[in-house]
Amino acid sequence: MKKIVSFFITATLMVSGCTLDREPETTLADNNFWKSETDLRGACNKMYKDLPGFVNDFRSDELRDKSQNGISSGNRSVSGTSGDWTDPYNRIGVCNNIIIKSENAQVETGRRNRWVAEAYFFRAYNYFELVKKYGDVPLILKVFNSTSDADVVRARDSRETVIQQCYDDLEFALEWLPDIDDSELKNDWGRVSKSAALGLLVRIGLYEGTHKKYHHTPDGNYVDHLDKGIAAARQLMNSGKHDLYPDFNKLFLHDGEGRQNKENLFVKIYGPAGTINHKHSRQLESSITLTRNMVDNFLYTDGLPREKSPLRIHPESSYADMLKNRDPRLAMTVFTPGEEAYKGSYVPFVTTNQNHAFGYAIKKGYIGSEYSSDGTNDKMIIRYAEVLISYAELLYEKNGSITDDQLDATINKVRERAGFNVRLTNAFVAANGLDMLDEIRRERMVEFIDENLHYDDIIRWKTAEEVLPKAILGLIYCSDETTANYNELKNNLTAEDGTYKGVKVYDQGFIYVLEEAESRSFDPERDYLYPVPTHEISTSGGNITQNPKWGN
């Protein structure tokens, strides 16, 4: 049931932040607004409308678009302006406006705080997005009364200061947001709840804790952030209000919508048809492909990775060989040859089935009935499986160890939901020469394919410098099962020994090279942060400075 109504008070919410849009607040039509609880609720709806939903993230080695992505390949340049900076600040301006102007409403304090809590939640959400990209950013907690306000050209605050503000905002939200099972939300599904605030605390605590640990940033103690995430995860896990949806296949379809799916913590609401829609299923056909780089992370049914499992078929003589004896989530994530797909039965390398046919065609979340029409299924932004896997990672990053009981409550529970009944245990790791942290990270990679987490993960783990400069690989050409013309493909296929232009890129031959390693780079002294747009620097009076090695 989709209940957030299309009641958006655009004029009253055009509030600037930082050096962005300096229209004075005094020009806004506030005289007849901010009077009642209905006004507060309507103002908050703007934040849901502006919330990004279905976005396919091509910044890592996970997904490939038709053309090379500048961030993934290390070939981006400094832009004059960027929505990566301005969009979150404009959304933060909306939040600040609600927080401050709500004081004018003739509403009982508790009810006012209930709506203001939504603004605090979204302010934390958007500041976290900025910190992940830019590091230090100006912390704006007000609306501007004039363009002469000093904060219009405020310098960058430290990321630790901004993240601590995010924690403060979420603590307020956690105190005043309704419980997810509150009767108010039963008739207004999709609004943020205490569960959403806790889920965001888990995400921020894990990100900042591991980022500080591996990037050795001087301000703040990384363990303090890990503890924040651990406490929030435990509160969610002990609440009894959330569980995994029983069917991984249906989780990403209309079946997984609403409160009946206890895995939902924070969602972007779409539909009904003709209102707020998306094109996700069409995008899966038109440009998106999963790379072999990511496919190789899926374990075999003995619980071992490809480099250790005797169940691996090598070399592969057919597409089906790649799927045999694997974690069931692999076949739930990509199409199998002959399976009904975008435009008929799926055939590898054949462009009539998909516009970008040289990588693995994604099945996860595809709805055939919405291929040629507007998509209306909701987008899960934070789900309970993320909390469970994050909790396992948080514990290991803090303690350097994790118990088998903790693994059963987290990693193994997520595996079992998908029918992958091989337990990860300390004894299994030791007996097979595995690394526990690698296995926890692997679980995160395969569970959240195309869910906009992987790029952030390789940034905080500080592994982007290892994985991004490599060749991006696609399908293995198997001549016995494809109608593709070898002569048309051969210039992008490795030799039989896995070499490409004389360089070894894979341990099997005839794999399609989507991007050559020579076309990719990653500077660890520069590329872990985005460049600040030059407009923000030039209009700040010198207060805002550029990130390292991006020039002036």
* 3 state DSSP class of 435: coil
Kindly report, residue by residue over 89-133, the tens digit of the pLDDT: 999 999 999 999 999 999 999 999 999 999 999 999 999 999 999
Torsion of CA 51, 53, 56, 57, to 10 degrees: 40
Average pLDDT over residues 487-514: 95
Q: Is the pLDDT of residue 6 over 70?
A: no
Kindly report, residue by residue over 66-94, the tens digit of the pLDDT: 899 999 999 999 999 999 999 999 999 99
Helical axes 194-215 vs 159-176, angle rounded to 10° = 160
Using pLDDT thresholds of 50, 70 and 90, give the confidence band for residue 552.
low
Residue type, 102: S
Q: Is the pLDDT of residue 400 over 50?
A: yes
Kindly report, residue by residue over 281-318, the tens digit of the pLDDT: 988 888 899 999 999 999 999 999 999 999 999 999 99
pLDDT at res. 24: 30
> Do 386 and 443 meet the contact criterion of CB atoms below 8 Å apart?
no
For residues 66 and 494, what is the distance between their CA atoms, to the nearest angstrom?
A: 20
**Any idea which of 239-243, 393-397, 538-542 has the lowest mean pLDDT?**
538-542
DSSP 450: T
Cis peptide preceding 348, ω within 30 of 0: no
118, 139, 252, 97: which is closest to 192 by C-alpha?
A: 118
Q: Is the pLDDT of residue 548 over 70?
A: yes
Place of tokens 């929505």: 83
Written as six digits, the tokens of 250 are 């249906």
pLDDT at res. 1: 41
Strand segments, DSSP code E, in 15-126 are 63-64
For residues 245 and 383, what is the distance between their CA atoms, to the nearest angstrom?
A: 10
Using pLDDT thresholds of 50, 70 and 90, give the confidence band for residue 372.
confident
Element (H, E) at 504: strand 503-504
For residues 416 and 419, what is the distance between their CA atoms, to the nearest angstrom?
A: 5
For residues 389 and 406, what is the distance between their CA atoms, to the nearest angstrom?
A: 10
Mean pLDDT of the chain: 91
Kindly report, residue by residue over 170-185, the tens digit of the pLDDT: 999 999 999 999 999 9
| Domain chopping of the chain, boundaries | 178-278+374-468
pLDDT at res. 369: 87
> Do 135 and 159 meet the contact criterion of CB atoms below 8 Å apart?
yes
Q: Tell me which CATH code domain 178-278+374-468 carries.
A: 1.25.40.390
Kindly report, residue by residue over 217-250, the tens digit of the pLDDT: 888 899 999 999 999 999 999 999 999 999 999 9
The secondary structure of 135-201, three-state, reads CCECCCCCCCCCCCCHHHHCCCECHHHHHHHHHHHHHHHHHHCCCCCCHHHHCCCCCCCHHHHHHHH
Using pLDDT thresholds of 50, 70 and 90, give the confidence band for residue 23.
very low
Average pLDDT over residues 376-399: 98
pLDDT at res. 29: 55
Average pLDDT over residues 513-522: 97
pTM of the predicted protein model: 0.94
pLDDT at res. 273: 64
Strand segments, DSSP code E, in 209-349 are 264-268, 289-290
Instruction: For residue 137, report the phi and psi dihedrals to the nearest 5 degrees.
Output: -145, 155
Measured over the CA atoms of residue 466, residue 467, residue 468 and residue 472, the dihedral's sign is positive
Written as six digits, the tokens of 321 are 């060989």
529: number of CA atoms within 13 Å, CB side? 19
pLDDT at res. 148: 63
- For residue 504, the tally of other CB atoms under 10 A from its CB is 11
Using pLDDT thresholds of 50, 70 and 90, give the confidence band for residue 419.
very high
pLDDT at res. 488: 86
Strand segments, DSSP code E, in 305-452 are 379-383
pLDDT at res. 139: 97
> Do 235 and 251 meet the contact criterion of CB atoms below 8 Å apart?
no
> Do 545 and 536 meet the contact criterion of CB atoms below 8 Å apart?
no
